[in-house]
Chains A and B, each alone.
Chain A
């Protein structure tokens, strides 16, 4: 169950193009599981930026000098994320979390491949730790546009049996896409479950590769959200339910982790005509909330 917490910045450190914020988070640190996210308010109580920014939880410390803390990875590319990156120790940041459905963990010690695009890799290290604790094999594939945009290479090397790095420009690891690296990992290590987090295009490719080879996949999606708690209906995407019916589901409460074979990746950003309640099927289009 999520709660709202007046967090305090414990530290801000740079990591390549990104910033890692450690925030006090109280009990949230104890209930957070890999794949959960937090929604951070921007700019204080009178801020003109009303919408919370969602970040997957990179790490937690349950008990320390500061009580429970959570780590998030921020890429400063807009006014809100720049504000977060400019916080200093002792500043207040309002946190809501833990939110969403986390990754589900296999019961048996299976072979897992964890794929991260850019700072989408943020939640994979907590996941790797828990998979290892269950005796699972963990191989990691990290990809980005260039070396600066990779996140967590050292952590990956500490945790995973193998680490494959790909960059679009070849500035680190192998030039190419994460799917190139993933194909080799899957072939060499008998991958049974693929976990992925990153941009939609990457997730679509990873999910497709897994599904085609009969491998189970779980993808944490990045959809823009306004509330993060399930009330605003902005972060929807077309997902096929157990009954075979496609619905526009909220990535904040029904996700962010989805089974890769249930998301209609090619149709993200649209309402497929066979979606429940799609325009033209039942009544006219349009209408506001």
Chain B
């Protein structure tokens, strides 16, 4: 756990001018920003690159790609909900061959760090996807989407059961270059997310993406039928943020050293800070991009300002800070820095 010494003794304006080191590291993936996109909320980067420079992101996390082209589900695929939305896209995509040829090449040439999200119907699918990705440049990490909530058969949500989650993670790890980190994306729709997290790490996951959407449903009171053609859908947006922060917190407690990519309803820098303090090493901004296409850049700036105003000199110092116990906080005026370069911190990383 984190032990830290922090002082708030400096005037606020002096503290906020301090430049915060925003670099982040996810299992060896070095990034200049802790802000990533979230799978399914940024396509493969091209569209958002019209609004901001995607190379300034920590990384682009691409929409989950499958082996073959997939049409996805019928419409309506979306329903707005309080502070969020339900989606039932059904993993529409061009298939891995087209993805590597068109999207991955573009991302690589563009110079964007890329986390490729993969999804399959079977353990073999995931193994094949990993084998194909191994042959191509430009894959900085793999996010293993084992938590699609919309599959016709709940038994196929690999992340709902420790053994199936492990089997998928193991298959991807075995078929991926050991220098490429793999992240397992977990579902909050389980009794004990930490047991799934532990199983994934034991199976070879280098890190965890926390969380995917929650299974939800809306009924249209005009038609008196489900609002989505797919009946149920994945709930995302600020409405799920407390659930996501709780999941990050629980996993951080159970696994003090595992890299965590936190996500779920991040809209502002302070939202991102909650995830960082709960134990995330970096965060993804997802659904809020639909509301504000430049949100990832804004969240980066706001997070940097928030960290500075709290006296942190680096993002890394703030990771898991909320887990420190009472006697680990030492506020000592006598040790206040005299050079005025911001609050002093002494931190033993977990």
Checking B64, B88, B92, B289 against A248 with a beta-carbon cut-off of 8 angstroms, the contacting residue is: B92
Binds A, one of B73-81, B131-139, B248-256: B73-81
Instruction: Please report which residues of chain A, range 231-289, place their CB below 8 angstroms from some CB of chain B when the two chains form the complex.
Output: 231-237, 247-248, 253, 268-271, 275-279, 282-289
Residues of B within 8 A of A285 (CB): 73, 90, 152
Shortest distance between the CB of A35 and any CB in chain B (Å)? 19
What 1/0 flags go to B57-97 for Cβ under 8 Å of A? 00000011011111111111110101111011111110100
Shortest distance between the CB of B164 and any CB in chain A (Å)? 15
Given A41-B292, A231-B43, A289-B234, A248 contacting B72 (CB threshold 8 A): yes
In the complex, A233→B72 CA distance in Å? Answer: 9
Instruction: Tell me, yes or no, whether A38 is within 8 Å of chain B by CB.
Output: no
Instruction: Tell me, yes or no, whether A224 is within 8 Å of chain B by CB.
Output: yes
Is the beta-carbon distance between B288 and A276 smaller than 8 angstroms?
A: no
- Give the size range of B's interface with the partner: 35 or more
Instruction: Give the number of residues in A that approach B within 8 Å (Cβ atoms).
Output: 45
Is the beta-carbon distance between A230 and B51 smaller than 8 angstroms?
A: no
Is the beta-carbon distance between B87 and A232 smaller than 8 angstroms?
A: yes
Interface centre among B41, B152, B293 (most CB of A within 10 A): B293
Instruction: Tell me, yes or no, whether B213 is within 8 Å of chain A by CB.
Output: yes
In the complex, A52→B82 CA distance in Å? Answer: 14
Interface of B, secondary structure class, is: loop
Given A285-B90, A286-B156, A288-B90, A236 contacting B70 (CB threshold 8 A): no
Is the beta-carbon distance between A271 and B72 smaller than 8 angstroms?
A: yes
Is the beta-carbon distance between A288 and B212 smaller than 8 angstroms?
A: yes
In the complex, A287→B26 CA distance in Å? Answer: 27
Given A52-B290, A287-B90, A282 contacting B70 (CB threshold 8 A): yes
In the complex, A232→B150 CA distance in Å? Answer: 16
Is the beta-carbon distance between A50 and B237 smaller than 8 angstroms?
A: yes
Binds B, one of A1-9, A23-31, A212-220: A1-9
What 1/0 flags go to A23-63 for Cβ under 8 Å of B? 00000000000000000010000001111100000000000
Checking A230, A234, A247, A277 against B77 with a beta-carbon cut-off of 8 angstroms, the contacting residue is: A234
Task: Point out residues on B near A: beta carbons under 8 Å.
Answer: 39-43, 47-48, 50-51, 63-64, 66-78, 80, 82-85, 87-93, 95, 119, 121, 148-153, 156, 212-213, 229, 233-234, 237-238, 287-294
Q: List 17 A-B contacts (CB under 8 A).
A: A48-B82, A50-B288, A224-B75, A227-B290, A230-B47, A231-B48, A233-B72, A236-B75, A248-B71, A269-B74, A277-B69, A277-B70, A285-B90, A287-B72, A288-B91, A288-B151, A288-B213
Given contacts A232-B89, A276-B69, 6 further A-B contacts (CB under 8 A): A224-B76, A286-B73, A286-B153, A287-B150, A288-B88, A288-B148
Task: Point out residues on A near B: beta carbons under 8 Å.
Answer: 1-4, 41, 48-52, 94, 96, 223-224, 226-227, 229-237, 247-248, 253, 268-271, 275-279, 282-289
